[in-house]
Chains A and B, each alone.
Chain A
Amino acid sequence: MSDIEGNIQAKAKKLLKDGTIKYFIGYENGSDPLHTTPCFIKKAEDVDKIVWNPLCVNNLAGYLTHDKKRELKKGEEEDKKPIGILVKGCDSKSLVQLLSEHRIEKDEVIIFGVPCDGVIDPKKLEKVLKDKNLSVNTIDSLTIQHDGKNYTVKVNGKKYSFPKDKIEMSKCSDCTQPNPIISDETFGEKVKKSDKKDYKTVEEIEALPLAKRWKFWSDQFAKCIRCSACRNVCPVCYCKECVVDSADLVITPQTTSSEKANKMPWLEKNVDPAENMFFHLTRMMHMAGRCINCGECERACPMNIPLSLLTKKLEKEVKEMFDYEAGIDVEAKPLLSIFEEDDPGDFIK
């Protein structure tokens, strides 16, 4: 157990014991040694479940909004105590975004910040281990340590070394915010990652001729099964009712005509190129100036659709056109609720 892990546990224990927080959201060991999984610790005696290591990939910030959507049971009283939560650098950006949009307020959360030197992509890890003839099926123990440019992975007692870029989440390689932007307590030393965002993958697509770009994206979205994992995993996607859920068109005698007009089925449930494209374009429009490129949507997608190529494009354009970056300033106004006189307008006749 690392010092950081121990300190997080101790602090969580203290806050749970003295009743400061209603629960703590962190990570625990997952279904296999390659995964950790989000955990919700309600009792002080359970804190030793909490782990902190490079497999702590998930962005937990979105869970803060789950409570707000939950319908209370009969007789259940709302627990108004704050929630304790563990955030890495990137995760803290989504937290800042949620705070700036007043989806959560600062006094509703106690933030445990961990400077982060990169996290592992379990899919990549599985692949490099396979190349070494290590199947997930036979891995009983696995620990990972940072080691300069490499990771040392100890599998079933034996050590292997892998270069960072081979197994790290791709979002980590050009991370400019590895240290939590906001936190009540920071665990561990500050780290330095990258100075500059890298948009090479986006530029490669931009450079393709139009027809090729269409081919690329239509092939990708043909794979989409519209499971909504990308939407639901997103920490800043929190609406109780989503515009793409056409089934939410509930009409009662009280429904006014304007409500009906606003509740038209924008998206049909059939899964085909047109509807899928509509889904993704709509999602992206709703993410403009809000997406913090945590990479969760791409990670969650079971069909391996490279959604980061969309979210990074969005981030790049928002930066270039409006000099705006999501998730860095709690006081910032939402991108689409402000404007500048000299915003780009050369496309307008």
Chain B
Amino acid sequence: MTSSNSFKAENFVIKKEDVAQFLKGLSDYTIYAPVQEEDTVLFKVIQNPDKIALHITNTVKSPKFVVLPQTETMLKVTKGKENSIKIDEPVLDEKNILFGIRPCDARGIAILDKVFSGDYKDPYYVKRRANTIMIGLACTDPHRNCFCTSVGGAPDSTDGLDMLWTDIGDLYFVTVLTKKGMKLVKETVIFSKATSENTRVMNKVHKTAHEKITEKLNADALPKKLENLFEDKYWDEVSMKCLGCGSCTYLCPTCYCFDINDIEYRDKVKRVRTWDSCQFSSYTIHTSGHNPRPNKENRMRNRVYHKYKYHHDNYNELGCVGCGRCITYCPVDMNLKATIKELAEK
């Protein structure tokens, strides 16, 4: 759903001290931005722009939940008069802005776009996504576990974004990438045209960030490699320490597996869609009781195959954006980067 139109990017700058005013002017929108509470930085709805925490490279949980909520009510059924039933569907007309989303996470949403608004158009996703504007923030200090440049991304990638902001000192350099983005800029007088000096600094900042990511993994080799590694002993070894929790998949910006359940309460029912995780032992269990992926080695293999082969088979791009969350937050320090390296060398 990224702008397939022929919008020509335009460059502006905004003074850092004006950012709060800009955001306050967007009162028609629900604004999600990174907020720090104690030691945890998460995307939250912000009322007060001063609370925004842009100093952390990335939030614990990816902001995909804004377009793909962990719990989505699809419909509600209530009893009406005389055995009639009433079905309510969610309205979903809230207009959202994701402010300060990192380029990897925006690419994550661009990946979800292809899944949920490709051949099959998921009405919930499509609606939320159409109502969401993404204002990205280029990374200047990539985390040690970031590997976006190995999987087709970059600390200044514009995939999926409506605007990309770059911290250039007292100013943010603002690259407007879509009509949606342009509309926001046009609504105020806070933005001014970028000068060639601004552009020079911006390019330098981007270059420095690129240079900070020193490791380049041969991730592109995987879709081919994995063709012959399904039965490899490697999966038994690498998965030994996995706990089969869902941290890696729930925090991941590109995981999108879901489950649908009907929840009853007295004479009402609601149908909810929730995230699911291929790492859970119950994920593929059949009604017969048979589980085609009974062990953690089968499940971990699926996670890697999905990101590095199946998704590539279907969409011709990798299904991982290299945000590093599954490494940083895994309770047993499972290292996807090492896995990629080891597989590429097989």
Contact = CB atoms under 8 A, between A and B. Distances in A.
B60 A30 contact: no
Given A247-B259, A302-B60, A227 B246 contact: yes
A169 to B, nearest CB: 14
B287 A250 contact: yes
A300 B243 CA distance: 11
Contacts of B281: 240, 245
B245 A250 contact: no
A88 interface: no
B261 A227 contact: no
Interface centre among A36, A39, A137 (most CB of B within 10 A): A137
B241 A302 contact: no
A194 interface: no
B61 A37 contact: no
A37 to B, nearest CB: 4
Interface string B262-292: 0100000000101011001111011111010
A128 interface: no
Interface of B: 38-40, 42, 60-61, 70-71, 141-145, 212, 237, 240-241, 243-247, 250-251, 259, 261, 263, 272, 274, 276-277, 280-283, 285-289, 291, 294-296, 327, 329, 331-335, 337-338
29 contacts: A30-B335, A31-B337, A37-B335, A40-B240, A66-B296, A70-B296, A71-B295, A123-B39, A127-B39, A137-B141, A137-B144, A226-B246, A227-B246, A227-B250, A227-B277, A228-B246, A231-B245, A232-B244, A233-B243, A246-B261, A247-B259, A248-B285, A250-B287, A251-B287, A252-B289, A270-B263, A302-B60, A302-B61, A302-B329
Given A268-B263, A269-B261, A304-B40, A228 B245 contact: yes
B287 A269 contact: no
Interface in A37-60: 37-40, 58
A37 B282 CA distance: 26
B282 A300 contact: no
Given A227-B250, A269-B274, A271-B274, 13 more contacts: A30-B333, A32-B145, A58-B332, A123-B39, A137-B144, A227-B251, A247-B283, A250-B287, A252-B289, A269-B259, A269-B276, A300-B247, A304-B38
Size category of the A interface is 35 or more
Interface in A107-164: 123, 127, 135-137
Interface of A: 30-32, 35-40, 58, 62-63, 66, 70-71, 123, 127, 135-137, 223, 225-229, 231-233, 240, 245-248, 250-252, 265, 268-272, 296, 299-300, 302-304
Given A248-B285, A250-B289, A40 B241 contact: yes
Contact of B333 (A37, A127, A226, A296): A37
Given A227-B247, A250-B289, A35 B333 contact: yes
A270 B259 CA distance: 10
A270 B245 contact: no
Nearest to B212: A137
Nearest to B237: A40
A300 B285 contact: no
A63 to B, nearest CB: 8
Contacts of A304: 38-40, 60
A38 B241 contact: yes
Contacts of A240: 281
Contact of A248 (B61, B143, B212, B282): B282
Counting from the closest, the 6 A-B pairs by CB-CB distance are: A300-B331, A37-B333, A229-B245, A71-B294, A232-B243, A227-B246
A66 B296 CA distance: 9
Contacts of A229: 243, 245-247, 331
Given A270-B274, A302-B251, A232 B285 contact: no
B41 to A, nearest CB: 10
Contacts of A71: 291, 294-295
Contacts of B39: 123, 127, 304
A232 B6 CA distance: 49
Contacts of A231: 245
Nearest to A71: B294
Nearest to B282: A247
A132 to B, nearest CB: 17
B174 to A, nearest CB: 27
A31 to B, nearest CB: 4
Given A37-B241, A227-B250, A270 B289 contact: no
Contacts of B237: 40
A205 to B, nearest CB: 16
Interface centre among A35, A240, A251 (most CB of B within 10 A): A35
A31 B335 contact: yes
A252 B287 contact: yes
A300 to B, nearest CB: 4
Contacts of A228: 245-246, 280
A39 B241 contact: yes
Contacts of B272: 268-270
B265 to A, nearest CB: 10
A179 B277 CA distance: 38
A245 B291 CA distance: 15
Given A223-B40, A245-B280, A31 B333 contact: yes
A302 B274 contact: no
A304 B60 CA distance: 10
Nearest to A70: B295
Contacts of A36: 333
Contacts of B244: 232
A299 B245 CA distance: 14
Contacts of B247: 227, 229, 300, 302
A37 B332 contact: yes
B69 to A, nearest CB: 9
A265 B241 CA distance: 29
Nearest to A248: B282
Contact of A252 (B241, B243, B277, B288): B288
A231 B145 CA distance: 26
Contacts of A270: 71, 261, 263, 272, 274
